[in-house]
A and B are shown apart, each in its own frame.
Chain A
Amino acid sequence: MTRQRVSRPRPGTHLLRWAERYCGPDMLEAVVLPVVADLQHEECQAHAGTVTRLAFRMRNYLGLVNAMCLHFLVGRMGPITISKFTNSLRWLVMVPLAPLAAFAAQVLVIRLAWFALGGLSRDPGWTDWTVWAAKCATCPFMGAAFVAVVWLIAPTRKAAASNMALAVVVGWGGLLMVGAFQHIIEGMFHWWGFVMGLSGVLGGVVTWWLVRRSVQRRVVAV
């Protein structure tokens, strides 16, 4: 007795029918047909298991939704308007995200330090120096996160944006360093504050130098 194979429709067949009914010929030709063709060929060539096939489909369907939105927007607004809109959005998002990234870096490093030093947080007698040392350890990462996020999010003029970010980090570190001298008349110098400011500035400067170097390398490569 031979088992009859049930022929399944090719992946994307239903999607194609839906698109033929609801999408314009332009969208169908430019976006849907190429994506469905890719999906079918990718699945046929892979001979993969169910999970991998599902992953292929998910990736292609997400790509299709993205492409359809983009195609629609380009048709309505034109690429230059979209580009202006997304650029403005990125500049706007950068302002809260950069300090947030610095804050996230601080929290992460403090947690890691506590985890690495083992049980410090449970010990009520932990001395001041451990807290200050942990704070000093966070500062370079905060400076680095601030500069790196500004660099990554800035859509254009990345060099100028990273200069501005470095200026902010230097200003913040400078304030901490100047604050260390606050009680110098009374013979007290806040070493920890000074080290915090200095390490923050160093973190920012190193990141700034790394991103600038990457740009120069890219320019030379071209």
Chain B
Amino acid sequence: MLDLLAVEGQMYGLQLVTQSGGRLKRGTVYVTLGRMQQKGLIDADAEKLSDDSGLVPRRMYRATPFGLRVLQAWTHAARMLAVGEARS
């Protein structure tokens, strides 16, 4: 999720599901996003809609600077593990 948000900037839940190529599910994406928001990894804003649309505004999620740092650290750790695995 953080990876997608870091690349795309701002996304809504269903967009994350479709762009993840089946790795994220509709039933779990919002609970996970909620937890990530609680941890300060992502931030959310309501989408701006015209008043007469009558639609419920979607929530747009984006990675926070802290989230981006966590993603960087995680990617680095995964790369180191992969190198270690390849050596052994």
Interface residues of A (CB under 8 A from B): 10, 12, 16, 30-31, 33-38, 40-42, 44, 59-60, 62-67, 70-71, 74, 79, 216, 219-220, 222
Q: Are B34 and A38 in touch, CB under 8 angstroms?
A: no
| Whole-angstrom distance between the Cβ of A114 and the nearest chain B Cβ | 36
The interface residues of chain B lying within 8 Å CB-to-CB of A62 are 26-27
Name which residue of chain A comes closest to B85, CB basis: A219
Q: Are B82 and A36 in touch, CB under 8 angstroms?
A: no
Number of B interface residues, CB 8 Å?
A: 26
Q: Are B31 and A67 in touch, CB under 8 angstroms?
A: yes
Q: Are A74 and B59 in touch, CB under 8 angstroms?
A: no
Q: When the two chains form the complex, which single residue of A33, A44, A59, A216 contacts B59, counting CB atoms closer than 8 Å?
A: A33
Contact with A along B43-75 (1 / 0, CB 8 A): 000010000001111110000000000000000
Q: Are A220 and B31 in touch, CB under 8 angstroms?
A: no
Q: Is the interface of A mostly helix, strand, loop or mixed?
A: helix
Q: When the two chains form the complex, which single residue of A30, A33, A38, A67 contacts B28, counting CB atoms closer than 8 Å?
A: A67
A67-B56 contact, Cβ under 8 Å, with A74-B31, A220-B86, A222-B78: no
The interface residues of chain B lying within 8 Å CB-to-CB of A67 are 26-31
Name which residue of chain B comes closest to A7, CB basis: B54
The interface residues of chain A lying within 8 Å CB-to-CB of B34 are 30-31, 71
A10-B55 contact, Cβ under 8 Å, with A79-B35, A220-B82: yes
Q: When the two chains form the complex, which single residue of B31, B58, B82, B86 contacts A38, counting CB atoms closer than 8 Å?
A: B58
The interface residues of chain A lying within 8 Å CB-to-CB of B81 are 219, 222
The interface residues of chain B lying within 8 Å CB-to-CB of A36 are 56
Q: Are B55 and A66 in touch, CB under 8 angstroms?
A: no
* Minimum-distance CB pairs A-B, first 7: A66-B27, A63-B26, A37-B56, A30-B34, A38-B14, A37-B58, A222-B78
A34-B13 contact, Cβ under 8 Å, with A16-B56, A222-B79: yes
A70 to B28 CA separation, bound complex (whole angstroms):
7
Name which residue of chain B comes closest to A65, CB basis: B27
Q: When the two chains form the complex, which single residue of A37, A59, A66, A79 contacts B57, counting CB atoms closer than 8 Å?
A: A37
| Whole-angstrom distance between the Cβ of B11 and the nearest chain A Cβ | 12
Q: Are A41 and B55 in touch, CB under 8 angstroms?
A: yes
A42 to B12 CA separation, bound complex (whole angstroms):
12
Q: When the two chains form the complex, which single residue of A12, A31, A42, A65 contacts B31, counting CB atoms closer than 8 Å?
A: A31
The interface residues of chain B lying within 8 Å CB-to-CB of A216 are 85
Question: 12 pairs across A/B with beta carbons < 8 Å?
Answer: A30-B30, A31-B34, A35-B30, A36-B56, A38-B12, A59-B26, A60-B26, A66-B27, A66-B28, A67-B27, A67-B29, A219-B81
